[in-house]
Structure 1
Amino acid sequence: MRQILTAIIVAASMAIPSLGAAQQVDFGGLSTNTKAPVEITSDSLQVDQSTGEAVFRGNVLVVQDDMRLKAAELHVEYGQTQSEINRLIASGGVTLVSASDAAKSQDAVYDVRNGNLVMTGDVLLTQGDNALSGNKLTVDLTTGTGQMDGRVRTILAPGGQ
Structure 2
Amino acid sequence: MVRIAASTIALITWASLAAAQGTQVAFGGMTQDTSAPVEVTADQLEVNQGDGTALYTGNVVIGQGDMRLAAPRVLVVYAEGQNGGQGRIQRMEARGGVTLVSGEEAAEAEQADYDIDAGTVVMTGNVLLTQGANALTSERMVVNLTDGTAQMAGRVQTVINQGGSGQDQN
Task: Sort the TM-score into its range (normalised by shorter chain).
Answer: 0.7 to 0.9
SS of match in other structure, 2:126: strand
Deviations 1:103-161 (A, max 9, x none): 00000000011210000000000001111000001011121112100010001111576
Q: Which aligned segments of 4 or more residues in structure 1 are displaced greater than 4 angstroms?
A: none
TM-score by length of 2: 0.83
Residue in structure 1 matched with residue 74 of structure 2 by the alignment: 74
TM-score by length of 1: 0.87
Q: Which moved more, 1:12-21 or 1:24-33?
A: 12-21
Q: Which moved more, 1:116-125 or 1:11-20?
A: 11-20
Shift of 1:77: 0.7
Residue in structure 2 matched with residue 50 of structure 1 by the alignment: 50
| Max Rg structure | 2
**AA matched with 1:150:** G
Residue in structure 1 matched with residue 65 of structure 2 by the alignment: 65
Shift of 1:15: 4.8
Residue in structure 2 matched with residue 6 of structure 1 by the alignment: none
Residue in structure 1 matched with residue 92 of structure 2 by the alignment: 88
Residue in structure 2 matched with residue 3 of structure 1 by the alignment: none
CA distance in 1, matches of 2:76, 2:127: 22
Give ranges in structure 2 of 5+ residues lacking alignment: 1-8
Shift of 1:36: 0.7
Q: Which moved more, 1:142-151 or 1:15-24?
A: 15-24
- Aligned counterpart in structure 1 of residue 135 of structure 2, from 131, 137, 152: 131
Residue in structure 2 matched with residue 158 of structure 1 by the alignment: 162
SS of match in other structure, 1:84: strand
- Aligned counterpart in structure 1 of residue 104 of structure 2, from 86, 93, 100: 100
Identity of aligned residues (%): 48
Change (3 A) 1:27 1:108: same
CA distance in 2, matches of 1:30, 1:129: 19
Q: Which moved more, 1:139-148 or 1:20-29?
A: 20-29
CA distance in 2, matches of 1:47, 1:30: 33
Shift of 1:47: 0.9
Shift of 1:16: 5.2
CA distance in 1, matches of 2:65, 2:151: 22
CA distance in 1, matches of 2:120, 2:50: 26
Q: Which moved more, 1:19-28 or 1:49-58?
A: 19-28
**AA matched with 1:94:** V
